[in-house]
């Protein structure tokens, strides 16, 4: 077992990893930027190292500073959390060279699955259905020819990234050239690569993902699916498990194909295989995230398992427990991402938290790093907490989420709590009748006008 783990991240996920390490008896090292000096993950870690100024490019994305921090503290492993360097194959290679264990898949697997075009081709070859699309585009003429073959509307997507960046919906040939140029520029800025490809737009889609875990002994298991359909700007804000659209038969058949595919490529650690579901309930492979997900707690709530602890154990060479083959989903869980944003415009809201009340009670979990008088800096992702509620069924989970949201108070910065309350009260959400356009349909006309003006809606 590792003696000391450095957490190359910040916020609630850094604190979540520290909790897992404490239960395993492992010492922890927090790295932090100057803006995060007073953060909870810094306070609760056994050791702490400042790695640079506030901009993430000079701190949390600074590979040499993080490796130096691991060396001076004698850490024998690094947990990257999610975001930042968690899916950076180069960082994983540097960890190997520095003889520090990277808690995640092997660099070559990260690189394969991180290239969306290559991942689609590999998963198709291994038996998973993929959305019709193109390879990485060269010239504009090639893009036009591929667009004619695929048909409009279509999606331009960054080959090296995700999270909605480098992504554009194109409805006609006239829009293609400008959209292609914009998507390439965004992809270059966000991921260091301008490569993009085309994909047919799935009408009225739902976003379904399967949680997986693999060990270094050749075993991969799946832990059921999560519904992540409710999104803004192609970024999830509500997740739940199980999905109302996936029955036991589909769960087992798709899960089996996912496991077989990942065993073939030698996948290790936690990961998520993402799909789009069309109106006929056909699942198409979308991409794979080779890391722990923001929404992993909903799977933990319905399985009773600790995914972060298991990540650490398999990275240390432990086999997956035999009982993980027989995991069954119990009840229903819903996660609301509490982001420090204006709930009407989705504009980040930085500042000092002047008042805070965290809800509790049966079936309620809150993962957070925010506290009263803490600073929400303007430099990073706006997520400040995650509310996860579990019930015996979906109806009870929704009721507990409503109750918890009413009792969740954050003062000093604006948050998405009012929006989540609106979602939970919506009859279509309660009935499970929604797709990825749900949030646009929920927003009031004046809110939609503001979003359109900002280029958010479209």
Which residues form the catalytic set?
291
The continuous run of DSSP H or E covering 22 comes out as helix 11-24
Nearest to 286 by CA among 219, 327, 231: 231
Strand positions, DSSP E, 186-277 = 196-200, 206-214, 220-232, 235-241, 269-277
Backbone φ and ψ for 312, nearest 5 degrees, come out as -65, -40
- 8 Å CB contact between 24 and 311: no
- 8 Å CB contact between 31 and 51: yes
- 8 Å CB contact between 387 and 336: yes
What is the chain's alpha carbon radius of gyration, rounded to the nearest angstrom?
A: 21
Peptide bond into 77 cis (omega under 30): no
Strand positions, DSSP E, 340-451 = 351-352, 355-357, 364-368, 375-376, 383-391, 409-411
Q: What is the number of alpha carbons within 13 Å of residue 100 lying toward its C-beta?
A: 28
Question: 50 pairs with which residues across the strands?
Answer: 32
- 8 Å CB contact between 329 and 250: no
Residue 262 CA: distances (Å) to CA of 115, 127, 358, 421: 16, 11, 39, 38
**What gap in Å lies between CA 147 and CA 74, rounded to an integer?**
53
Residue that is written with structure tokens 């008042």 in the block: 355
Taking the mean position of all CA atoms in its chain, how far away is CA 423?
A: 20
């Amino acid at each position: 077992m590792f003696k000391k783990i450095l957490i190359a991240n910040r916020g609630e996920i850094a604190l979540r990893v520290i909790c897992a390490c404490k239960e395993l008896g492992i010492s922890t090292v927090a790295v932090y930027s100057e803006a995060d000096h007073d953060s909870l993950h810094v306070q609760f870690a056994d050791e702490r190292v400042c790695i640079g100024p506030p901009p993430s490019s000079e701190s949390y994305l600074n590979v040499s500073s993080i490796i130096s921090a691991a060396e001076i503290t004698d850490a024998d492993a690094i947990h990257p959390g999610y975001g930042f360097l968690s899916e950076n194959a180069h960082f994983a290679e540097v960890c190997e060279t520095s003889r520090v264990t990277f808690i995640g898949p092997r660099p070559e697997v990260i690189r394969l699955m991180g290239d969306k075009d290559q991942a689609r081709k590999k998963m198709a070859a291994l038996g998973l259905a993929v959305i019709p699309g193109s390879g990485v585009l060269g010239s504009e003429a090639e893009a036009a020819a591929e667009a004619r073959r695929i048909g409009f509307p279509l999606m331009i997507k960054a080959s090296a990234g995700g999270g909605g960046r480098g992504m554009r919906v194109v409805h006609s040939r006239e829009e293609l050239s400008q959209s292609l140029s914009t998507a390439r520029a965004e992809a270059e800025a966000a991921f260091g690569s301008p490569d993009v490809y085309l994909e047919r737009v799935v009408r009225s889609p739902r976003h379904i993902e399967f949680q997986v875990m693999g060990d270094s002994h050749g075993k991969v298991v799946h832990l059921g699916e999560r519904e992540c359909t409710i999104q803004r700007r192609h970024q999830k804000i509500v997740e739940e498990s199980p999905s109302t659209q996936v029955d036991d038969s589909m769960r087992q058949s798709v899960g089996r194909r996912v496991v077989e595919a990942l065993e073939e490529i030698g996948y290790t650690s936690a990961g998520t295989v993402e799909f789009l579901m069309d109106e006929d309930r056909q699942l198409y492979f979308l991409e794979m995230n080779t890391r722990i997900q923001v929404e992993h707690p909903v799977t933990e709530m319905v399985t009773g398992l600790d995914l972060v602890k298991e990540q650490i154990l398999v990275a240390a060479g432990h086999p997956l427990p035999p009982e993980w083959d027989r995991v069954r989903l119990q009840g229903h869980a819903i996660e609301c991402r509490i982001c420090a944003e204006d709930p009407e415009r989705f504009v980040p809201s930085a500042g000092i938290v002047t008042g805070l009340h965290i809800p509790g009670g049966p079936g309620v979990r809150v993962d957070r790093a925010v506290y009263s008088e803490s600073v929400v800096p303007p430099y990073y992702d706006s997520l400040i907490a995650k509310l996860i509620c579990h019930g015996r069924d979906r109806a009870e989970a929704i009721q507990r989420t409503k109750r918890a949201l009413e009792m969740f108070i954050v003062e000093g910065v604006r948050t998405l709590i009012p929006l989540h309350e609106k979602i939970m009260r919506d009859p279509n959400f309660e009935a499970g009748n929604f797709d990825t356009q749900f949030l646009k349909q929920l927003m009031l006309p004046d809110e939609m006008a503001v979003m359109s003006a900002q280029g958010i809606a479209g």
